[in-house]
């Protein structure tokens, strides 16, 4: 048995290489130029946009290390059988991480969330309205009202996030 150069180094010394923001950006740029599939290009551009926005922000050294550890834990450089599913899942996990740990959300995050919630509650409202009038008219009216309320609340929440400087 032979020993490599790391065999006798202390355990406190870091020997692992963590993916930096710049390395991740270069990685996705390379993937984007290598593919011709539109859905892959779209996912890569989303990652590139987020990484660009992160590079422009002021973070402490610990926050940058935390983000880079998260990028490394996503295992982006692995070669999965289904790359579309792998990168979509990685993008979703990265967005969740940024929201939970750094309070950063993407543009229109709350608008999209509240529109879907509004349409869901609008169906219930439509059923209630439909009991007194025609069912299909009540449901259509309820969904419309729910979407409108959801859009209003979502836009308001997005403007508050943007004003706080937490929007990517």
Does the predicted model carry a pTM greater than 0.85? no
As a whole number of angstroms, the distance between CA 5 and CA 8 comes to: 7
Residues 28 and 98 in one domain: yes
Shared domain for 143 and 93, answered yes or no, is: no
State the Cα–Cα distance between residues 118 and 110, nearest whole angstrom. 12
Q: Do residue 97 and residue 117 come from a single domain?
A: no
Q: Is residue 16 part of a domain?
A: no
Judge whether 61 lies within some domain: yes
pLDDT at 11: 52
Domain limits for position 134: 109-164
64 and 94 in a single domain? The answer is yes
DSSP state of 37: -
80: which 2 tokens?
């999965």
Structural domain total, the chain: 2
**One domain, residues 25 and 71:** yes
Cβ proximity of 135 and 113 under 8 Å:
no
Q: At what angle do helices 38-56 and 21-34 cross, to 10 degrees?
A: 160
Give the pair of three-digit tokens for residue 72: 């490394």
Query: Is residue 56 located within the same domain as residue 73?
Result: yes
CA distance readout (Å), 164 to 83, 98, 167? 35, 15, 8
Half-sphere exposure at residue 35, Cβ-oriented, CA atoms within 13 angstroms: 17
pLDDT of the residue at 36? 86
pLDDT of amino acid 4: 54
Does one domain contain both 83 and 131?
A: no
**pLDDT in 10s for each residue of the chain, 168 residues:** 555 555 555 555 444 567 788 888 998 999 889 888 888 889 899 999 999 998 888 888 898 899 989 988 888 887 777 788 888 898 999 999 999 998 899 889 999 999 999 999 999 989 988 888 888 888 999 999 999 999 999 999 999 999 998 888
**Does residue 143 sit within a domain?**
yes
Asked if 84 and 118 sit in the same domain, the reply is: no
The pLDDT value recorded for residue 130 is: 84
H or E element, residue 165 = none
């Amino acid at each position: 048995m032979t020993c490599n150069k790391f065999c006798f180094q202390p355990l406190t010394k870091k020997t692992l290489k963590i993916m930096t923001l710049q390395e991740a950006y270069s990685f996705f740029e390379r993937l984007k130029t290598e593919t011709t599939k539109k859905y892959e290009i779209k996912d890569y551009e989303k990652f590139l946009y987020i990484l660009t926005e992160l590079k422009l922000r002021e973070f402490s050294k610990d926050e940058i290390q935390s983000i880079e550890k998260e990028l490394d834990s996503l295992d982006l450089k692995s070669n999965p059988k289904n790359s579309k599913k792998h990168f979509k899942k990685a993008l979703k996990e990265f967005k969740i991480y940024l929201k939970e740990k750094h309070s950063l959300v993407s543009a229109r995050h709350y608008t999209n969330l509240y529109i879907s919630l509004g349409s869901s509650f609008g169906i219930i409202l439509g059923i209630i309205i439909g009991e007194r009038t025609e069912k299909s008219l009540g449901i259509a009216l309820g969904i419309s009202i729910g979407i409108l309320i959801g859009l209003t609340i979502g836009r308001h929440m997005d403007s508050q996030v943007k004003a706080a400087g937490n929007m990517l």
